[in-house]
Each structure stands twice: as structure tokens, then as C-alpha cells.
Copies of this chain bind each other. A is one copy, B any other.
Amino acid sequence: MTNLSGGPRVVAVIGAGVIGSGWAARMALAGHEVRWFDPNPNAEPFLQRIVSNAEEAWKGLDWSVATGRPTRSDSLEACVVDADLVIESVPERLEIKRATFAQIEADASPEAVIASSTSGFRPTQLAEGLEHPERLIVAHPFNPVYLLPLVELVAGESTAPDLIGQAKEFYAGVAMKPLVVRKEIDAFIADRLLEAVWREALWLVNDGIATTEDIDDAIRYGFGLRWAQMGLFETYRIAGGDGGMRHFIEQFGEALSWPWTKLMDVPELTDELIEAIATQSDDQSGHFTIAELEAHRDENLVAIMNALAPKRWGAGDTVAENRQR
């Protein structure tokens, strides 16, 4: 199997939606040779818009040295034939993913590593039926893929023992923060937290307690600012004072049994609820195009990342340090 550690690699991206396009842009900007393939003949303009966004963003990052651009392949075969790493970013349906893996195995070198971008399926599930299941991992990124550092790395039961270690080094080399997920579970770590917030937010809208804009404001003027630079537990550790987390939990634990949330139930996505959310979102953001919102988001993210890096990026290592490897 290809050892991912070390110099620039040939990277093939299969599927050029928002995730695949983001991967292609990041890998190319970080100096890898990138090909991409999407069966949709109209995929090009979308990918090019994401690549332009990414170039614009990386120009603004203090620590980045943007280099290449991804090139389109006419077939999956041409895309993967000499790839060291194949990134799978096709739709989130198991049968589509498995069919794509079969094609990749038919056309790529048996040495090529396969990294799935799935946000939900376990790697052991995905690897069923592969001829070389030892080369498959999940590398789950977050939108916008060319800016957000987090990538969740998950090994399946058959994954080669040293592959996650190599992948960790590889993704750190494209300015990412690899988080190795210790146990295989559906949806991994970050999306489970996001799912919890999403459900509770739907209840707040459903019950007429808050609009989509109220909820967004509650996040971005409050705990969102905390979480851009320090997570949940370290923030609460401070709140516990010199007694630390133990003291904090003793204070806070009781609230767990209070009937504050509606978490026990899943809100039904009725037409009325969907209509309320869609209308409130239009009221909140409808005066901007998606492209304007993207530009706005990216400009903010670049400003925050520059403000935090290199010294202030939490207590741990930094994107800048990763980048300098």
C-alpha cells in the first residue's frame, strides 16, 4: 500500500459536489497533483466556483502558500489510474458508495489508499466487498472543506494498522487538524453534537419560541465565540474555578434531570414546520445570494483564523504549525 507520509502525491477526487470540490481545491492549493471526476457533465462550473473561493480565501490566510489547481479527468479510470490517494465524495447512499469503490478497485493501483468523505457510514460497513479493505479509511471533513481544519479519521476492522498514523501526518500536511476517532460509530463525533443542536433548534422554531435568526444570534454572539477557540470542556473547566471539572459537574450535573429540553422527542418535520423555517430563513438571509453568503463566511473565517494563528489557536498545536511541517 502507498505510504501517504512524505512528499506531494497524486490525489484523485471522485464526486465534485460541495465536499469533493472543497477537497480538490484544498489538496491542489497544498501542493498535491489533483485530478477530479464527476459523471455530471455540468459539474465544472460549480467546482470552479469553489476553487475560486478557496484561492481567494487562501490568499488571505497569513500562513498559506497556495500553489496548484485541480484538473478534470474524462473518466473515473483516467482519474484514479496512477493515484496514490482516492478521495470518495459521492452522494450519501451506501449502494452508490459501494459501486464507486468497486470501480475504483477495478481501475486504480492496488496500492492506492481510498478515503471516504462519508459523514455517517462506518468504515467497516463501507469496506464490505472490497478486494483490499485494508486500504480504506474514513476522512470526514467539514464545510467549507478548503478552510475548516477539522478532519475526522476513522479506521474500519480491516484497515491496515499503520494507515491512520500515516493519514494523520498527511492531512496535517494540508493544514488540517486530524482527529482520530477511537471507536467506529455512526456519524462519528462532531456530527453527533451538531445533530443534538439541530434537533433542539427545530423544537424552538416549532414551538414558536425563537426564529431562525434568534437562534443564529444566540449562537454567534454567545457560545459560538467561545467555541471558535476553546471547546466545551475547557470552557467549563474555567467556570469550575480552582475546583476544576469535578466542581463544575457537581454544580451543573443536577440540571441534567431538569425538564428543560425536548430532547426526548424528535420533532416531526411537518409541512408547517418546514414552511416556517424556510420563510424565517428567507427573512433572515434572503437579501443575500448564496455566493454573497459564502464570501461573507469565508472572509470571516480567514479573519478569525489569522487572528488566532499561530500563537493563540487554543492550547494545542496550530494550523500554522501544521502547515510548516
- Which residues of A are at the interface with B, using a C-beta cutoff of 8 A? 18, 120, 142-143, 147-150, 152, 177, 179, 181-183, 185-187, 189-202, 204, 207-210, 212-235, 237-239, 241-242, 244-246, 249-250, 252-253, 255-261, 263-264, 266-267, 269, 274, 277-278, 280-282, 284-286, 288, 290, 293-294, 296-297, 299-301, 303-308, 312, 314-316
Contact = CB atoms under 8 A, between A and B. Distances in A.
10 contacts: A150-B221, A179-B214, A182-B214, A183-B207, A199-B263, A219-B231, A224-B228, A225-B228, A225-B305, A244-B281
User: How many protomers of this protein does the assembly include?
Assistant: 2
A149 B221 contact: yes
A184 to B, nearest CB: 9
Could you tell me the dominant secondary structure of chain A's interface residues? helix
Given A215-B189, A217-B316, A210 B226 contact: no
B293 A300 contact: no
A216 B234 contact: yes
Given A253-B269, A258-B186, A277 B245 contact: yes
B187 A260 contact: yes
B227 A228 contact: yes
A232 B197 contact: yes
A95 to B, nearest CB: 16
Contacts of A258: 120, 186-187
A278 B293 CA distance: 40
A293 B312 CA distance: 12
Given A209-B181, A246-B274, A263-B199, A304 B228 contact: yes
Contacts of A226: 142, 148, 224, 297, 301
Contacts of A316: 217
A242 B292 CA distance: 12
